[in-house]
Structure 1
């Protein structure tokens, strides 16, 4: 299963430069890296990244993250994946630009 992280341009650049990150300021504050499933990613973008450009969508395979990945109740009572470890560049399966269109961010067509 793939899980997704939306990164702002400075966050993506920092991850590329350092090879790992504790995440965005909200991740550091909460003590874990926030992720979304494919079904949750659009709502996450709309709620937390409205009108933001220059975003990158990173996909990671959930299983190799092992016990550091916890599924916890969050927005609307849904379980969200939270990583209690640094986000490592080596764990990313693929990245793609997440452009902003007239009706919100444009996600890959193959995401549910």
Structure 2
């Protein structure tokens, strides 16, 4: 199936529940900002703190929730923890959500 193509078979309740869980996690602006930053590449906690403007303890807590939900993964680089998105689906979802929001905020007409 091509990237972004709509599934032709109906999804079951489990798929809708899982998708709703992802949207619930992304409904927090700080978590959304963290995921959007990670959509551009790996980052450590300091980079994510600077990018989001949130306090470091809050960023760490948000990252823990995202990690427990299986949306991000972490690897060690010496003493640093490097975070990355787990897959391209989440990256595309967040990029499209931000692009959609940009259209809403700027009044740019929608497109396909």
Bigger strand fraction: 1
Bigger helix fraction: 2
TM-score by length of 2: 0.28
**Which of these two proteins has the greater Rg computed from alpha carbons?**
2
* Structure with bigger RCO (C-alpha 8 Å, 6+ apart): 1
